[in-house]
Amino acid sequence: MGCALGVMLVPATAQAASTPGVTSTSITIGATVPLTGPAAPGYDEIAPAMTATFAWANAHGGVDGRKINYTYLDDGYNPANTATLTRQLVLQDNIFADVGSLGTPTQSAVQSFLNQQKVPQLFIESGCNCWNNPKYPLSLGWQPPYTIDGKILGAYIKSNFAGKKIGYLSQADEFGQDVVKGLDMEIPASSVVSRQTYDVATLAGPLSNQMAALKAAGAQVVVLATIPAATALAMLPAAVIGYSPQYVVDSVGADAPTVGPLLASFAQKGGASAGQVAAAGGLLNGVITTAYFAPESDTTNSWVQTEKKILQTYAPSLYAKAGLDGNDQYGVALAYTFIQALQKAGKNLTRQSLMNAINSQGHSFITPGFVPLSYSSSTHFGFEGEEVVKLESSAPPAVTPTGSWIGGVPVGPVETTSPGSGPIKKYTGPTSTPPKSLSSTA
């Protein structure tokens, strides 16, 4: 599978004039993401990381001689804006496909429109189960559905914390509900002593009441299905009252370079400088979470090295500010999945050939993931497997310009499952390595 980029020296065949967004020298794609607003922190890095990856591909001649033009617009996580901006991208800018747009409410708002306009809605940045809808064949997910996170974490809790009291704190929307659904498939209901929720729209301060209720119920293991800000706003008040349960945190809210700075100030009293905290200790030590590709702290991993090089070369200001964190890795991986899809779709690029390539050959795409992509004519999910990871102060840290953040070690095998009631299976297949030509820059 060493399909190297830039080897296609044969000029593209004359493109059928009817495929919007595709010419013999370019492919125009678009997306809507939150760049401003309370939902922007962290997620605003994904699109620039994707742009950097496409810039790398374009520097190597593009795909079949076509350069990828990626336009992403700010919808502020407001579905009304998404509806308008997506119509602008499709009706006015004539994009070939909508790639890497973010959010469940936002992308649900345009799912019907995009499918009706026959525009592929690819690799939606959301773990909702709803993307696997046969009514909308052009809409595909990418990251593992939240229910899978819940199942795999739940199975880990069941076998490693048997007999302990479990408490949940979940976001009161589809994300939190889907994680809880997965948890409940594995953890016996009698073990769950408290189920707390928080509303992301009114998240203003510490989730003190919820943590107090979890402590009062005696929860010894607390599962957090939270965005990074809420993870911090849960751990902080718990620490205030001296409550330190075993935390199990969904990967959405467990990226150490993202959550770490929010917790940093707690470790200091007034007068210390904000920002840096030692890798050892800290509130994140011992946190259980999952990962579906090698994290940024695994500096020996060839994918991590490649992602770093791509960012350093093609998004230097982004890299200088924040280094490589989970969101950047996500963006590079997603963009490369799209590049693979374009390559397999062939010179005669149409929306149909693109969908066929993903559905029939998706499982053989090269990605940083631990498991192959699941795309087929009957499923629209991408990754459906991950491994359980524990954040350990002894593990190599993730080093960014903002500090040194705790790294993680795997504490279980790579497992796959489906968001439904199917079983969890170990995955023993190989992981792919980036092809030789990807590891050289410029």
Partner 1 sequence: MTLFLDYTLNGLANGMIYAALALALVLIFRATRIINFAQGAAGMLTTFIAFSLISRGWGYWWAFVAVLLIGFAIGAATQLVLIRPLAGKSELNPVIVTIGLLVVFEGLAGAIYGNASRGFPAAFSQRGLRFGNTTVAFSHFDVFILVAVLVMMTAMLVLFRFTALGLRMRASAFSQEIARLLGVRVGLLFTLGWGLAGIAGSLAGLLVAPTSAFGPYYMNLILVYGFTAAVIGGLESPVGALVGGLITGLCISYVGGYLGSGLEPLGALALLMVALMARPEGIFARPPARRV
Partner 2 sequence: MDAAAMTKYVPRQPMIRHLLVAVLAGVVLWYLTTQLSTYNVYQVGEIASYVVVLGGLSLLTGANGQISLGHGAFMAVGAYTLGLLMTHTGTNFILELAAAAGVAAAAGVVIGLPATRLKGPYLAGMTLLFALAVPSIADKWPATFGGDQGLTVSAPTAPGSLGQEEWLTWIQILGALIVLVLLANLLWSRYGRAFRAVRDDEIAASLAGIHVARTRVLAFAISAACAGLGGALLALSTGVVNTGAFPLTLSIQLLAAMVLGGTGTLFGMVWGGILLVYMPQWSTSLSTDFNLGNGASAYLATIIFGVVLIVAMLAAPNGIQGGLRWLWAHRPRPGRGDHEVPAPIPVSVSD
Residues that bind partner 2 (CB under 8 A): 35-36, 44, 47-48, 72-74, 77-81, 83-84, 87-88, 91-92, 104-106, 108-109, 112-113, 128, 130, 172-175, 177, 199, 201-202, 317
- Token readout for 370 is 């631990």
Q: Which residues pair with 415 in a beta bridge?
A: 386, 426
CB 48 to partner 1: min, Å: 11
Q: Pairing mode, if any, of strands 97-99 and 26-33?
A: parallel
Of residues 169 through 188, those in contact with partner 1 by CB under 8 A are 172
Q: How far is CA 375 from CA 28, 139, 385, in A?
A: 23, 11, 13
Provide the minimum distance between the beta carbon of 112 and partner 2 in the complex, in angstroms, as a whole number. Answer: 6
Binding to partner 1 by residue 209, rule CB under 8 A?
yes
Q: Which of 294, 288, 236 is nearest to 260 (CA)?
A: 236
Three-state secondary structure call for residue 419:
coil
Rule CB under 8 A: is residue 208 a binding residue for partner 1? yes
C-alpha torsion sign, points 434, 436, 441, 442: negative
CB of 405 to partner 1, least distance (A): 11
What minimum distance in Å lies between the beta carbon of 425 and partner 2? 29
Name which of 130 and 332 has its Cβ closer to partner 2.
130
Return the number of the residue (249 or 259) whose C-beta is nearest partner 1. Answer: 259
Strands 166-171 and 288-291: unpaired
Q: How far is CA 439 from CA 307, 364, 442, in A?
A: 9, 20, 10
Nearer to partner 2, 177 or 433 (CB): 177
Nearer to partner 2, 117 or 356 (CB): 117
CB of 389 to partner 1, least distance (A): 20
Cα dist from 217 to 190, 196, 243, whole Å: 13, 11, 12
Residues 228-247 that bind partner 1 (CB under 8 A): 228-230, 232-233, 236-237, 239-242
| Closest distance of CB 215 from partner 1, Å | 8
The 3-state DSSP class for residue 355 equals helix
Chain-centre distance for alpha carbon 209: 29
Outline where 265-377 has alpha helix (H). Answer: 302-314, 316-322, 326-345, 351-361
Handedness of CA 14, 17, 22, 26 (dihedral sign): positive
User: Of partner 2, partner 1, none, which one does residue 272 interact with (CB within 5 to 8 Å by kind)?
Assistant: partner 1
Q: Choosing among partner 1, partner 2, none, which partner's interface includes residue 322 (Cβ < 5 to 8 Å by kind)?
A: partner 1
CB atoms within 10 A of CB 316: 11
- What track of x and - describes contact with partner 1 for positions 340 through 369 (by CB under 8 A)? ------------------------------
| Element containing residue 259 per DSSP (H, E) | helix 256-264
Which among partner 2, partner 1, none contacts residue 259 (Cβ within 5 to 8 A by kind)? Answer: partner 1
Return residues touching partner 1 (CB under 8 A): 35-38, 40-42, 44, 172, 196-199, 202-206, 208-210, 212-213, 216, 228-230, 232-233, 236-237, 239-242, 258-259, 261-266, 268-275, 321-322, 402
